[in-house]
Structure 1
């Protein structure tokens, strides 16, 4: 999304409203897209992070049609919409994370979301245009053309339930990547790529993600008072905090999952406690930390921003290319794969294990996300059984 950016607007109510602008962060707001988001999505109470995701998809879509010199309003007025070839081209673009030539792909759900919001937008701008047609026959023809367009779009839309695995789709870490990750993030490791001042902070940040599997927004939103060290094991409460007046960051930390209470192992508990009591509270090291309640701060002690949060992982990848496409979301996938493997190894009841996994991740009951996030573990377990069957049945010595 080179030509479009997302600007944050803070309303008098304290709500952070993202809007799409063209021409850089200080560019001109896209009026139609802003109105579309306000009417169709903000009214549903969706999180600002989710709306940002939709806006990024819309920015990508507008770039796509502009590159092909497509005037959407004119197409709608003439009842032409997008051709099947154009829709197929856009569906392919939705599956890619970078430039169109990039081989890196995104998951089926995200690709489908990108495609769906753009088709929804075209339908939204078409309805008032068609409604203004006075002639009944022409209006009926325009509605018929819209229905044909929606049918064409459905025929090429990325499928959420696609049965074939997508090459490059995000999964957890390989065993050797996991071992490297756990070694080099330790504060006392000589191979740790971070500066001395930030080693413990980054260890706490990354180990919370690795050990508990929260979303990035949930980690950035943690406050020191969310931890209870008077209990054993120590606990952390992950809250949903929308439009939190204490969060003054340009991109607030938000969670779209449910709140929950999770326990910390001894090593993680000691690391978090050490960070809070010894380093974060040291006004010489982090002079601004006492002025805010957030656990994870930047080098000045201010609440960590979205960019700084991503830079932690980017620094790791830059120093250790072996970590591949490591990102915060991959750590969440990795947690779910390890959880699935552990449950199978210990013969846990599947229904109870699934229920507990849903609670730990903050998903809604009956969610299908466990299968999505544990794809790597399921693939590994399946192929382990296949190889065992082959060894048992296909390679026996003939009698």
Structure 2
């Protein structure tokens, strides 16, 4: 559970803590989302400190923010954190910054990031001020004045949020699954005995199991690291893995806990993957010092603690940099895109109707809505649409060569 802490006291700020605990957390937001919300609130508090504004007093008294202050806050939210901190330090006289040499050196964050910050600030001010407003129900005149000023301030912030439109989708350059040649190459080099395997001998088998699970099941890295041994049923030739949602898991010692963003589900395992998991659990994992102290499947080779998200990123980075021929965009999430492309190919071969394919895909991916598939089907959609276009061209060429009418 993240908190916004004032460095000078080491204590969480009261109003942001009230907002994050009573407003955001009960709605089922993941810890990473809550952390992003609080990071957005850092901007409004840094801005207030830089401008000498007592934000809590403004909200309690009903003074809120002026239109000029809202416009200034809007500009401040477009800065990188380092630049925002530098402006605060300069404002309080701690340091004198040299002016930037040119406009090209002035950096601003992407508009969507700025929009998200303003949206979080809007929610924070709206919720916090609603509590103060509710205390004035026995004072009608004060309630009316407070509500009027509050409504104006919120509308000014809201208009800034609405002014930043979400950009239209542009598939060019968006993340896609791996090409067939890249998949073959990746599956070959992750074999523990492959001469080009880039990992240390003591982690090769573990990393082999991790990549196989992500490639064969299409699970996220957070779902992978959240799997416990009891989630694996390996009796018989084909086993299963259950992907659970365990927010705020008290048994997970990791500060940045891996989280499952999708629904819980039971996934069947192929024969080879069942054998690999059995070998990892029975023969490899118990030999790692400290691994028996917790139930998580994937552990660190150095101390046996549950593996961190950053170590998965490091593993993918080593594959990209040390194995010639693998694409530079290779990541754990690209493997999820790759699984979706493979699933589409399998459905094409079986002739499964589109609506049935969408239901099956949503169930296996743990999605609540079928629309979630769009982001993972860019390569498949491009391949299918290009195939239809080529067939149209071939038909037109035949008609032109035979002199048949174009129908």
TM-score range, shorter chain: 0.7 to 0.9
**2:157 pairs with 1:173:** no
Aligned to 2:166: 158
CA contact (8 A) 1:337 1:376 kept: yes
Q: 1:392 to 1:122 in 2, by over 3 A?
A: farther
| In 1: Cα distance, 2:157 partner to 2:358 partner | 40
Pair 256,197 (structure 1): closer, same or farther in 2 beyond 3 Å:
same
Tell me the equivalent position of 2:386: 383
Aligned-pair Cα RMSD in Å: 4.1
Provide the C-alpha distance between the structure 2 equivalents of 1:245 and 1:128, rounded to a whole number of angstroms. Answer: 31
Alignment of 1:300-315 (within 5 A): 300-315=303-318
- Residue aligning to 1:323: 327
Answer yes or no: is the 8 Å Cα contact 1:79–1:142 preserved in 2. Answer: no
Q: Which of 324, 334, 341 is the matching residue for 2:345?
A: 341
Query: What is the TM-score normalised by the length of structure 2?
Result: 0.74
What SS is found at the alignment partner of 1:236? strand
The equivalent of 1:40 in structure 2 is 23
The residue aligned with 1:230 is: 235
Determine the C-alpha separation between the residues in 2 that align with 1:359 and 1:248: 30
2:300 maps to 298
d(CA) in 1 for partners of 2:351, 2:218 = 22
Between Structure 1 and Structure 2, the one with more helix by share is 2
Equivalent residues in 2 for 1:1-399, closer than 5 Å? 17-21=1-5, 29=12, 31-56=14-39, 58=41, 73=55, 76-80=64-68, 82-83=70-71, 86=74, 90=78, 116-124=119-127, 134=142, 140=148, 143-158=151-166, 162=168, 164-165=169-170, 167-282=172-287, 286-299=288-301, 300-320=303-323, 322-364=326-368, 366-393=369-396, 397=400, 399=403
Runs of 5+ consecutive residues of structure 1 not aligned to the other structure: 1-16, 94-98
TM-superposed CA distance for 1:312, in Å, is 1.6
The 3 A distance-change label for structure 1 pair 166 and 34 is: farther
Q: Aligned-pair distance for 1:239?
A: 1.7
Q: Which has the larger radius of gyration?
A: 2
* Residues paired across the two proteins, number: 366
Task: Identify if the C-alpha distance between structure 1 residues 376 and 48 changes in structure 2 by more than 3 Å, giving closer, same or farther.
Answer: same
* Counterpart Cα distance in 2 of 1:63 and 1:142: 18
Could you list the per-position Cα deviations for residues 295-322 of structure 1 after superposition, in whole angstroms to 9, with x for gaps in the alignment?
1000122221233232222222232474
Q: Deviation at 1:358?
A: 1.3
TM value normalised by structure 1:
0.76
Contact 1:181–1:323 (8 Å) recurs in 2: no
Residue segments in structure 2 that go unaligned for 5+ positions in a row = 82-104
